[in-house]
Amino acid sequence: MADKTQASLLLAKQLKDLSRNPVDGFSAGLVNDDNMFEWSLKIIGPSGTCYDGGFFDAIMTFPANYPNSPPTVKFVSDMWHPNVYYPDGKVCISILHDPGEDPNGYELSSERWTPIHTVESIVLSIISWLSSPNDGSPANVDAAIEWRSKRGDFIKRKQLWIIIPDSIS
């Protein structure tokens, strides 16, 4: 119970910090005001990428022992990306993998979760790999193949999926 209380206090602080000092590229808030452990994210597609102009919704769910264990992030908007499981939307990025040695030997322990990560550092990492996917260790093999060898098809598909809000278009 103490872990959950400490996690809740830390998450409240991070939410307050983000509301006082917004970060370019995304916004974050609670899905439900009664649950500090589930956040709604709106991620803006990075300029100059095939995601440019898009707004993507995701949910970040924190464990009771955060920051000792990583949250999960799942896109609720359709997301075609080598590092996002399709169709469920779950993000596969090293910093969200449990701390310690990788049982598959693909990642260094230094690339995996550490308690120094914050909501901001996680989402900025996700925005970064929207520009530069890790197609060598894909969650979505079909998207990785398309990214590597049929980039034009990948870009066309993304353009069809991007949702641009009415207020902007």
Positions marked catalytic: 92
Q: Closest Cα partner for 85 from 111, 94, 29, 93?
A: 93
What are the start-end ranges of the H helices in the chain? 2-20, 119-131, 141-149, 151-161
Alpha-carbon distances of 47 from 100, 130, 150, rounded to whole Å: 34, 10, 21
What are the start-end ranges of the H helices in 21-57? none
What are the start-end ranges of the H helices in 22-81? none
Alpha-carbon distances of 34 from 7, 8, 29, 37, 138, rounded to whole Å: 14, 11, 12, 9, 35
- Give SS3 for 69: coil
Q: Closest Cα partner for 70 from 94, 39, 101, 103?
A: 94
38 beta partners: 61
